Structure 1
């Protein structure tokens, strides 16, 4: 039987103010079904209440998301913000990976509208790039002092490759074999995948000494895998539960997090003034395409929300391009 707090976490976001967790920058657990159970909402399957909630979310996006309490320069305030971004940014990434996996399955099977599927695939990759920038926005000092040691305490070789939702999309991001999308859509998809990898390298370089080299070496040497407990360790660390949730409940959790992320960014910006002086920016993140991705972070999340709800990416058009 689900508790009232669990039901709240599986519900769609409200209409006004911060309503994620008990207070600004608090956390909620994420519940996803174990792979490969689909999380994509079937066309026409949203209930009236769910459709109304999605419409409210997209309308709020068009009007501009509100603000909440901004962070202050003191260490506890900044640590709370960047810890929130680390956990919730990963939650959004896990959901995006599952949406990507569902889309890839349809493309590989040759079912459905293949052009629309290629658009979804490209948009989901774009949104994931934004989440890499969001989770990696911590200062190096806070990452080294707070975030990295927390992973080391779980396991000395703690790795993102342990994520249960990652194997289905590994080949997409490694570029070993491009998915068989319609030819006209392939160049844009490949550009977005290349941008994701560039951002991943840049964030690693910005947060960790020799981070770029460590990440490249881990890819070259292959993944450490095979122990089923490691996926559970990974889920526990990231407050992720596995259970029988419906695609509609998965969508609700995604929207709850996207709205909280949008309010955070509207309030604090990706690089908060309170965190000045800012760390030097590595060369990978100085690319104009990365800057464009930063500016597109909220709109990309809104387009993802529309697509995940079975609408066109233009349903969220009118979202402010800058914040």
Structure 2
């Protein structure tokens, strides 16, 4: 399989532009798509993943599969995270329990997805992943992801709107996410020579529209309006692909410095977000939805 072939097997991801509305939808086709993805998720969690959810057999193919699947899921989670943090910023502290729990859960899933996507060796990264990014642009950076751009500002707004003590769990999740990033970067690129640095550039300035478009093209992301059910259906499918892969091959060894809880809780974190139609109550266990609910015979 060529370095490009795994992207084809994963498929393209359709997302709206960050900040675009995700309207409710009463189209039967959209509801059926979401129901089908929930049915597949239930199968993965009970009897085993459907054939369409199984990861590739070959190790190199699986590295590429994880890279694209993990990033696609992260882009979708980032959109939800920016929305959730904006909601939190606008919510009075007395009523903020649910948005705090939801954004905390999304940050933890973001951390797990980063570990999943980058769960390869430095040698595999250097030979299977890095060359294609460098070929797309000598300074290619994952910091060009347009879906992540609104997240830091939304987090700052949430922090400005609430006491630090009220956001302690969210702040812990953010800190753990930063630890995951640093640990993965040290493992994959021990000398710190990312394409951005190799091209003589340093992180900092906001990416240009051209750079964001190039990032979309690299990860096979198309921008179109979506309704809420289809947006959620895509996330359920992507998290199900991750769950099927982790179930078959594990998350992989955690890099040095990564919070150990993600090794123990990765599957539970993914499930908790995959099954939630709305922010979960604090400490509430995840519930698997009934995929036949509302179906008529």
Q: TM-score range by the shorter chain?
A: 0.7 to 0.9
Do the aligned residues in 1 keep the contact of 2:111 with 2:177 (CA within 8 Å)?
Answer: yes
Q: What does residue 187 of structure 1 align with?
A: 168
Q: What does residue 302 of structure 1 align with?
A: 271
Give ranges in structure 1 of 5+ residues lacking alignment.
Answer: 1-21, 272-277, 319-323
Cα 1:171/1:202, change in 2 over 3 Å: farther
For residues 18-97 of structure 1, the aligned pairs below 5 Å read 26-39=9-22, 49=32, 52-53=35-36, 56=39, 59-60=42-43, 63=46, 65-66=48-49, 77-97=58-78
Q: What does residue 316 of structure 1 align with?
A: 286
Look up the SS of the partner of 1:194 in the other structure.
Answer: helix
Cα 1:282/1:117, change in 2 over 3 Å: closer
Q: What does residue 19 of structure 1 align with?
A: none
Cα 1:146/1:48, change in 2 over 3 Å: closer
Alpha-carbon distance between aligned partners in 1 of 2:38 and 2:244, rounded to the nearest angstrom:
17
Q: Does 1:242 align with 2:223?
A: yes
1:312 positional shift: 3.4
Do the aligned residues in 1 keep the contact of 2:141 with 2:195 (CA within 8 Å)?
Answer: no
Cα 1:270/1:199, change in 2 over 3 Å: same
Structural RMSD (CA): 3.7
Alpha-carbon distance between aligned partners in 1 of 2:20 and 2:244, rounded to the nearest angstrom:
31
Look up the SS of the partner of 2:129 in the other structure.
Answer: helix
Aligned length: 275
Q: Which piece of structure 1 moves more, 295-304 or 62-71?
A: 62-71
1:316 positional shift: 3.1
Q: Deviations over 1:237-270 (max 9, x none)?
A: 0011001221211111111111111111111112
1:44 positional shift: 11
Cα 1:163/1:71, change in 2 over 3 Å: closer
Cα 1:188/1:114, change in 2 over 3 Å: same
Look up the SS of the partner of 1:31 in the other structure.
Answer: strand
Q: Does 1:263 align with 2:244?
A: yes
Give ranges in structure 2 of 5+ residues lacking alignment.
Answer: 289-297
Do the aligned residues in 2 keep the contact of 1:162 with 1:230 (CA within 8 Å)?
Answer: yes
Q: Does 1:283 align with 2:256?
A: yes
Do the aligned residues in 1 keep the contact of 2:88 with 2:158 (CA within 8 Å)?
Answer: no
For residues 95-106 of structure 1, the aligned pairs below 5 Å read 95-106=76-87
Cα 1:304/1:185, change in 2 over 3 Å: farther
1:303 positional shift: 0.9
Q: What does residue 209 of structure 1 align with?
A: 190
Look up the SS of the partner of 2:222 in the other structure.
Answer: strand
1:58 positional shift: 6.0
